[in-house]
Structure 1
Amino acid sequence: MTEKLYHNKFAPLYDYFQHGVKGDVNFYLNYFKNFIGKILEIGAGTGRITIPLLKQGLNVTALDIAPKMLEILKEKAQKENLTVRTVCADMRRFELRKRFDAIIITFRAFQDMYLVDDQLRALKTIKKHLKPNGILIFDVYTPSFEYIQKGNWQWHKDQDINLPSLKGKVRIDYRNCYDMARQMMNQEYRFSYPGGRKEIIPLRMRFFFRFETEHLLRLTGLKVKNLYGDFSKSKFKSGSPEMIWVVSPKRK
């Protein structure tokens, strides 16, 4: 899968150009305020959400498929005198021999599951690691047909970033297009460094529709407790930019 290459190759740059979804850190901090129990974060990356949760005194295990991302997370935790357990594994097939009170899949990491078999396998593995009264929270973006129509594989400027190790700015451009038959977003980032060097890295994401996601959850024995349309907990409706799912195992 391209996300492993993407996250490993650009792990040192990741925090400089990926800032998550508006409000997601505060959402998790508020949701788990005064929470007592063990949390597993899947897609923890460099710890953008993990570190604030640890600072709040929460018991968090961080899982990610990219070892270089986890190395950065551990360095950050060490600088803050925080203790974190990291697991380098694929969300479809990890085995931790323990159950968690909460599992979170952050920053749309579930969209790295391209095929239905991937999605079902991941959800079944996650459910196996949830306590009977545990919760799973994950977010995916809501497909926008207007945005999909604009995906013409032409380069657009994303942003300029400053890196401590370089003099001058690094320009980041992106281009994307959508495969509606496969419900895939195909994207490339182009990094233009001072001196003229350029690098291009691909990123693919599967996009989901509401009732498709509900069917996946039902098939894997999970029931929906809440569906929010953004990280301020607005009710999901037409035009909502996100789908933030809060689910739990069905009682037998």
Structure 2
Amino acid sequence: MYDTQFAEVYDRVYCTLYDYAAHARLIADLAREHAPEAATLLDVGCGTGEHLRHLRGEFAVTGLDLSEPMLARAREKLPADVPLHQADMRKFDLGRSYDVICSMYSAVGYLGGVPDLRDAVATMARHLTPAGVLIVEPWILRERWRGGQLAHASVERDGVTISRMGQWRTEGDRSAVDMHYLVSEPGGEGVRHFVDREDLALFSGDAYEEAFTAAGLTPRLLPVGRGDRGVYVATRTAGTA
């Protein structure tokens, strides 16, 4: 998942299909609403750093991701003074706290199961300042999942043409797709093909709520963001430290 081959095409696909600037604006607005004095932000599952690129003018930003190839792309587009850490969201320890912690584009969906979700939320909560806010975009909730969706798109960016297609399926308590990519580059020899397997946990709304509560946070699922996923916004429960 998210190897060098995929990292090479990631921005060309997702920066064409999605409006990162608008999504970053949503993060900033939610942060200001719930933590008006926020000055620092940690993006957990930052990928190639596109959210950080848009948010760094408003916060002192830090990124964290498990994939070194994705972080390599982030380093290319961000100034050297933006800290980027390769670490597992379930058990990282950065030795400091942040006013805003976000984990977007369903990064938590790639966790293995409910215990991993609890560990990840608890780890993020430990890095949150007392008046801070945690913003998490979940993958599609189990109770909203239908399966069988066909995902397909073709984009052209920087002279590179990319087509992708795959059909989502249900595998027990997970959703999975083998996404086929066709890539044609200027001066290249023919069309390159590779397959990226996506495998995301189908957590229930209760599982998310319980993970936040166990970490001493009070969450709300807001009907904002992409599709019908919503975005969880969580702050410390009164009486917890």
Task: Note whether the superposition's TM-score is higher than 0.5.
Answer: yes
Q: What residue identity is the alignment partner of 2:5? A: K
Correspondence 1:98-137 to 2 at 5 A: 98-137=96-135
Provide the secondary structure at the position in 1 that maps to 2:78: helix
- Pairs within 5 Å for 1:179-198: 179=171, 181-182=172-173, 184-194=174-184, 195-198=190-193
How much does 1:231 deviate? 2.8
Alignment pair present for 1:175 and 2:175: no
- Give 1:127 deviation, angstroms: 1.5
Give the letter for the 2:23 counterpart. D
| Aligned counterparts of 2:51 and 2:151: Cα–Cα separation in 1 | 27
CA contact (8 A) 2:122 2:212 kept: no
Aligned to 1:10: 6
Percent identical across equivalent pairs?
A: 21
CA contact (8 A) 1:113 1:119 kept: yes
Per the alignment, residue 50 of structure 1 pairs with 52
Q: In the alignment, is the contact (CA less than 8 A) between 1:141 and 1:241 conserved in 2?
A: no
Determine the C-alpha separation between the residues in 1 that align with 2:117 and 2:145: 24
Alignment counterpart, residue 249 of structure 1, candidates 222, 236, 239: 236
1:7-156 equivalent positions in 2, closer than 5 A: 7-18=3-14, 19-20=17-18, 23-32=22-31, 35-56=37-58, 58-78=59-79, 83-143=81-141, 148-151=146-149, 156=150
Gaps of 5+ in 2: 185-189
Contact 1:29 1:52 in 2 (8 A): no
Deviation at 1:85, TM superposition (A): 0.8
* CA-CA distance at 1:97 after TM superposition: 0.8
Aligned counterpart, 1:235: none
1:48 Cα deviation from its structure 2 partner:
1.7
The one-character-per-residue Cα deviations of 1:123-177 (angstroms, maximum 9, x if unpaired) are 12111111222211101144487862435xxxx56122335475xx332111220
CA distance in structure 1 between the partners assigned to 2:18 and 2:3 by the alignment: 14
CA 1:149–1:130 in structure 2 vs 1: closer, same or farther (change >3 Å)? closer
Counterpart CA distance in 2 for 1:37 and 1:68 is: 28
Deviation of 1:88 (Å):
0.7
- Residue 218 of structure 1 corresponds to 213
Is the contact made by 1:20 and 1:107 (CA closer than 8 Å) also made in structure 2?
no
Over the residues paired in the alignment, what is the CA RMSD in angstroms? 2.6
- 1:193 to partner: Cα distance: 3.3
Amino acid at match of 1:96: L
Q: Secondary structure at the match of 1:192?
A: strand
Task: Please give the alpha-carbon distance, in whole angstroms, between the structure 2 residues aligned to 1:147 and 1:96.
Answer: 35
Secondary structure at the residue paired with 2:175? strand
Amino acid at match of 2:222: Y
2:163 partner letter = R
Contact preservation (8 Å) 2:154, 2:162: yes
Query: Aligned with 2:49: secondary structure?
Result: coil
Distance verdict in 2 for CA 1:20–1:162, change over 3 Å: closer
